[in-house]
Structure 1
Amino acid sequence: MAKPNYSFEKRQRELAKKRKKEDKLREKADRKVGGNESSSDAPGTDAGDNSNGHTPLPPVTPS
């Protein structure tokens, strides 16, 4: 029977943690800059998506 490679498993866990931390920091920076501009450009998302629970405001037209 083969011996498990614990160092490989540990490295994979570390990489997953690092990736998750980087994603969180990126999302935090996006929120700080001014919103979800990058996520609204993602394919499959709708600009009128009401996932945050707020109703979108109508566009302002100059009079």
Structure 2
Amino acid sequence: MAKPNYSYEKRQKELAKQRKKQEKLQRKVHKHDEPQAGEAEQSSATQPASGAAPTQNPAN
């Protein structure tokens, strides 16, 4: 009967942990970047609307 290769299992477990940690880090980075892009879109959408209102008032 073959004996179990514990060092192989340990190495695979460590690699899985590293992959999971990297994926989590990438999700954090992307999650942090996305709200900024969303805020920029919202603020840019808000600025033209507020900027357009004062220009219409002096023309009247």
Same fold (TM over 0.5): yes
Unaligned runs of 5+ in 2: 36-44, 50-60
TM-score scaled by structure 1?
Answer: 0.54
Partner of 1:18: 18
Aligned identity (percent) is 58
The higher relative CO (CA closer than 8 Å, separation ≥ 6) is in 1
> Which stretches of structure 1, 4 residues or longer, exceed 3 Å deviation after superposition?
none
TM-score scaled by structure 2?
Answer: 0.56
**Cα deviation code 1:40-62 (max 9, x no counterpart):** xxxxxxxxxxxxxxxxxxxx7x8
Q: CA RMSD in A?
A: 1.8
Partner of 1:4: 4
Greater per-residue helix proportion? 2
State the shift of 1:34 in Å.
1.2
Unaligned runs of 5+ in 1: 36-59
| Largest Rg, 1 or 2 | 2
